[in-house]
Amino acid sequence: MNEAELARWRRVSDLFDELAELDAAERSARLEALQREDAALARELRALLDADAADCGVLDRGVQALAPTIVEALAQPEAEIPDTPAPVAIGRFRLVRLLGRGGMGEVYLAESTQGDFVQQVALKLLKRGMDSDEILRRFVQERRILAQLNHAHIAGLVDGGVSAEGRPYYAMEYVAGEPLTEYARSRGLTPRERVQLMVLICDAVAHAQSRLVVHRDLKPSNILVDGDGQPRVLDFGIAKILSDSAEDGLTRTGARALSPAYAAPEQIRGEPVSTATDVYALGAVLYELLCGRLPHRRSAAALEDGDTDTTVERPSQVLRRASVEEATATYGRRGGDRDRAAREIGGDLDTIVLAALKREPERRYVNANALGADLRRWLEGRTISARADTATYRLRRFVRRHRFGVLAGSAMLLFLVVSLGLALWQAAIARAERNRATEQAAVATAVSNFLTEDVIRSANPYRSKLDMSVTQALMQARGSVAQRFAAQPRTEGAVRRALAESLALAGERAPALEEARAAHAVLAARFGERDADTLLSRAVLGRLLQAVEENEARRVYEEGLNYAGAAPDDPARLRYTLGLASLDVELRKEDQALQSLAAIEPAVRRIFGDGSDEHFDLLNHRMRAYANTDRYEQTLVVAREALQLARQHFGADDPRALEWLQREGIALRLLDRHEEALVPVQKTLAIAEARLGPEHPATLYAHLQVGIVLMELKRYEEAGPHIDPIVEYDRRAKVSGDNPLTHKVYQARQRQYTGRVDEARRIFEEINSQARTVLGAGSAQALPYAQTLGMFLMQTGSHAEAETLQRKIIADSEKALTPGHVNTAKYAFDLAENLSAQPDRAADLLAVLETWLPKWEQFFGDKDSRVIDGRKWQQEAKQRLALDGSAAK
């Protein structure tokens, strides 16, 4: 390129980036303006945009369709490309040294020559002769794709452009590390530690896949592990155009570009790739990481004959048969423990790896996120979603491969009868499904029209004479439902169900419950209790009842199980089981709840999907169960898993993602990591205020979480303005349930810690009284609020009042909770702490410790502060009694 051509290409590149981000109308207007200014330029930009929009990229076409210009360039003798001295600088980078040279370019270690700090990058420079229009067009498209990737475990794109000589280049983040398999061997990592690395790698690949980027060449040499043990995935997207080394195992045959050892069968056959293609490569990498060899022994010849081996031996079996020398080559100094490693890999981990390596893409994990989720389940000892092949499945595959032989051995008459019956049966199912789909579409349209015309229009001041809120519009719309849908019971049920859920979200619990009851009643009367819509309305009713009447909610769920389908993965049965598990958490039956949730999780994810409300409900119930039983590390794991899932499905600023960001802060607070916790809760508050406004309940709750963390950091005066607004909102809006009680507890503590003791006592006493009224005197739900009053009395010197209340709490807890429940032990600790502060109560303290100290040791462990304090109090009490005895003599 001469200087003029180079300048023009740079302008085309910049304009393409600008136009690609515009919507269709803005892009058209901009192109028309450019057409008047420079018609040739506008035509070239239109061609680039058409190429970008069409399925013409390497990601969109089979490997057979790689650009002929690339193949021609690779085929040129090296002598035809003049050897020029290496440049000293490219763009803003100074070249330090050559890292490698391949058939299409060179890779240099380079440093930024701008700014006050040194930034090292791996700069990949396209070789002369590889700058055809086709390659340059794809280069621009790839640069835009790579710029979207921003993940801690991806070596990201730093910069890109065209050198002064007209040669395109990429500057990628430079990673100083070892290839994945070499790192694992040199550090002697266990199978579990290797899987932990793979989970992070899956996260990185899932991030790219969520942005429609498929790597296509994942292998250990493209995954480096740095000195801190953090994996980094290299060459996202670039491998589709550039190859950095002629010796990296990359085979080019028939215009294909892939590494056959890690390539999926569809890649070898030259078929289009998908997210499942990367899953196969991840499975191959994990296989090699676990047992030291690849799942297939392919060669370059496999690309010519389409060989895509179908049999893969289990990694545990490979490792079990390996010699000590082979195991040492894989696990380093741990090679002698190969049998132990094989036992650890055997079972579910074997199944996960083989599921990722299925020959058919549709039978693998759908994407890297799904594979990573199953690996996490294995690490946590939970049930995985993958299942090993069954005899039934193998028989079905055999019949499919040999159908003519099987059919020839069947009696023709029986075949005809069965076929005819099957055809009639399928036709009946098809008609029923078609009718059901038509009816559901009509119902959905009716619900949408009702909400648009009767609710949204009423709340629009330009269409209505009244200026009302959406909540008021919902309340007003209730009156027209019965008359408007009198002859359409299924539509009436759906509309009332939508009203119930909307009113509940608006905080109107009583009318929401009325609509939920009406929805269930009208559907049950017309279609029966086993109808799918009736079952769904029952689930909504149960969920709304949980906030006000737990016993009735349990009855609704348990009756529903009698009407739901018998199959374990029946949608209604799963919803009711989720509801019952949530009630078990509320009733402090956490272990029972966790068992139920673990049993249904695979079915919930399979039937409803990873991003469904049901799946997030399950994660929320699990997190609450862990938090209630002081398993705070697991609480944080669940919060972060759900946060990542919500961000992937809905976006980082979506309210559902914000909810889980807030819960991450809560989990960090429970772990006493308060400085860390302040970051997510403050971020949640900032986004909520910007999106929802300062008075929205979600914003007020975000304020509360900031206030709680500030209290933990002993910044009590700062906490007050964050806590008081939600207490005032609860009072003004007459919010029911136990949430307002919890909010007032934090307000009372803030008053106590800022010296307003009388005001704090008044609030604590109000809380205890309201809890007994709202939640039931002596109930498991009311006891924690009584506990807060007892702690306040003890801390302010009213030991006798505190003791009376604490002994009553223990007695009520033993009646309300299951025998030996951990919460009863916690309440007993409060009593012991109170007695320990009174030197004259040593004998009473020893009596309490004799009963409860062994239980604290059992529940909390020797290193827990409660156990340490209990032992110290026991020793001190014995010393006091000994001194008192000596004095008496």
Q: Which residues are annotated as a binding site?
A: 124
Residues 6+ apart with CB under 8 A from 380: 634, 637
DSSP letters for 750-792: HHHHTT-HHHHHHHHHHHHHHHIIIIITT-TTTHHHHHHHHHH
Signed CA dihedral, 4, 9, 10, 11: sign only: positive
Rounded Cα distance between 410 and 412, Å, is 6
**Angle at CA of residue 594, ends 593 and 595, nearest 5°:** 90
Signed CA dihedral, 803, 804, 805, 809: sign only: positive
Helix (H, G, I), strand (E, B) or coil at 154: strand
Question: Which positions make up the binding site for ATP?
Answer: 124
Helices (H) and strands (E) in the chain, counts: 39, 9
864 is an active site residue: no
Signed CA dihedral, 342, 348, 354, 357: sign only: negative
Query: Which tokens sit at 670?
Result: 């429970």
Please report how the helices 348-356 and 368-380 are oriented relative to each other, as an axis angle in degrees rounded to 10: 170
Helix (H, G, I), strand (E, B) or coil at 108: strand
- SS3 sequence of 244-276: CCCCCCCECCCCCCECCCCCCHHHHCCCCCCHH
Residues 6+ apart with CB under 8 A from 863: none
**Of residues 774, 766, 772, 773, the one with CA closest to residue 747:** 766
Amino acid at 37: E
Which residues are 232's β-sheet partners? 224
Rounded Cα distance between 350 and 688, Å, is 44
Structural contact between residues 771 and 785, judged by C-beta atoms closer than 8 angstroms: yes
Burial of 220 from C-beta contacts in 10 A (0-12 / 13-18 / 19+): buried
Instruction: Look up tokens 């290299």; give the residue.
Output: 234
One of 52, 159, 217, 617 is an active-site residue; which one? 217
DSSP code of 453?
I
Rounded Cα distance between 216 and 222, Å, is 11
Amino acid at 640: R
DSSP H/E element including 170 = strand 168-173
Helix (H, G, I), strand (E, B) or coil at 76: coil
How many residues does this entry show for the chain? Answer: 889
The residues annotated as belonging to the active site are 217
